[in-house]
Structure 1
């Protein structure tokens, strides 16, 4: 099996070094930030980064949603199964990111920009909430020409499943388009994440162009609401949203699956080939065991994709996602528990089912 899955999962996103700190609401108000949100840094946000380093007990953590997810997936898959692609600078931050990936056994194929530093993401933690402000820097310079090089395109040809975050719409829509079409033409699985409310709000045209190629779409409740608003669904019912997105036009014959998480609440799954919507309860993590919620969504995707690649049904994929998400919220930052990660299904995890 290890040989069969060599390079089976390839992901694209913005590799960022997280600068994480526990702050108070005053800092959020100063920079006009929401307690639970993800935005791109504007010029007025740039002083935030040195402020976290100089005035708070900031921690540097390997981040970037896509790389976080692929690290977790690789920890649950046979050796050499996953490869991550993105752009970094030629600096110490890039080495920290590469080192974290290597520790998890994740291969990286970075495009290196010698003129810009590796991107960073400010993580402002207030209680159970986290506000993310990304300064993409080198990450936003990724170009399709990198993966189009014959030596790199071999990764695409070898892969069976692709995972690209919505954040990448801001960087290289051309890459998303090329990989999506390759997946369709070769019977492979193309998956994406909405990633942040601003993605459907400000990149609706690119999202709309790509949706027909998406086989599995991930998102959370706020991202789903933003997508529904952008597409004029006229509802905030997350079950209806999931089914409406699943039923949007498809480029091929493969059914589409939409997976929407709601933190400690239920996870909703809808598919284009069924009028049933599945609702999966989440086992709560005791409040005294929670480190912070950063990285929980990426961990869910990591475990879901790992089980999907291993041929498991949706119920098991969601169960694994809940399990690993629960493990990560017990850590500080987007970190996985030390030691070997091994998921064992209960064999009895099942959703409630509703017909729409």
Structure 2
């Protein structure tokens, strides 16, 4: 479950970022001052529309890596409009089984993906994505998906929308010995949604994040360390609501090794390095990593294979515009 957003992706210039007070490589929710940027980006730049939103990206990539039709399902809220139709077309073509809540009163959420020098900045205008209600999740045909699933992944962004939906799924997973996974997602989630985040993370068997989010989490919780390895260990030892599985923390660091913490120890895995001239944009790199990782986890593969698949998927995605990929994966 997550916030389905139609990515409006374009290569922009530094001046555009400065004018709208946007930092490079950041992810934020649009404020009033950002709203004119959506019109401007469409008018001034060469834009691409891609079905996005962090969780939807990850599930698309997992589905692509698995190559088993309908192996994955996704829920979130969209509007009944042309962007909503674009989204449905795009995600169904990807083979994901979608059960959207469709809201007639609000526009489909969009995300401005501003690319400068290969680095992306995300400004999300949640709109309909903000209107998801747990009543939709509780409907028989939707809850049936939850009962059928063995693995759950929800990005931290959904904490701003429907923490009660997250809690329902988390508690179901704990009660039925299923795997529940979450992502720290963004520094602002760690800072401003601390209570719902703590509540949900207590159920997480896997926590994903990047080095910036990990350091923000550490600062918010007064851990007084910037050392990503130490933070990963502390996160893996965070109190847990269900004792079936030990928690594993997976922190990506861009071109630096992936850090995996379990049992109080850290393992590091190198990423696939990419020459700068092959980098198209980093949008969706972290989401793709999670999708690749999950695709092997659900097959019962060892942790090392899961990380390799994550690195493979993100390497593919950063060589293309947006979170997109070729027809078939070439992962062995």
TM-score between both structures, scaled by the size of structure 2: 0.98
For residues 154 and 51 of structure 2, the distance between their equivalents in structure 1, rounded to whole angstroms, comes to 18
SS in structure 2 at match of 1:266: strand
Aligned position for 1:111: 101
1:145 aligns with 2:159: no
1:341 aligns with 2:329: yes
Which residues of 2 match residues 42-191 of structure 1 at below 5 A?
Answer: 42-77=31-66, 78-191=68-181
Aligned position for 1:304: 293
> 1:54: how far off?
1.0
Deviations 1:215-240 (A, max 9, x none): 00110111111111111111110000
1:262 aligns with 2:250: no
Tell me how large the CA RMSD over aligned residues is.
Answer: 0.9
Stretches of structure 2 lacking an aligned partner (at least 5 in a row)? none
SS in structure 1 at match of 2:240: coil
> 1:129: how far off?
1.2
Which residues of 2 match residues 164-243 of structure 1 at below 5 A?
Answer: 164-243=154-233
> 1:97: how far off?
1.2
> 1:342: how far off?
4.0
> 1:111: how far off?
0.2
Q: Aligned residue pairs: how many?
A: 330
Deviations 1:295-351 (A, max 9, x none): 1111110110010000001100001101111011110111112x212421xxxxxxx
Which contiguous aligned blocks of 4+ residues in structure 1 show a shift greater than 4 angstroms? Answer: none
> 1:30: how far off?
1.1
> 1:14: how far off?
0.5
SS in structure 1 at match of 2:202: helix
Contact 2:237 2:264 in 1 (8 A): no
> 1:152: how far off?
1.1
For residues 57 and 65 of structure 2, the distance between their equivalents in structure 1, rounded to whole angstroms, comes to 13
For residues 141 and 61 of structure 1, the distance between their equivalents in structure 2, rounded to whole angstroms, comes to 21
For residues 342 and 180 of structure 1, the distance between their equivalents in structure 2, rounded to whole angstroms, comes to 33
TM-score between both structures, scaled by the size of structure 1: 0.91
For residues 103 and 152 of structure 1, the distance between their equivalents in structure 2, rounded to whole angstroms, comes to 21
> 1:184: how far off?
0.1
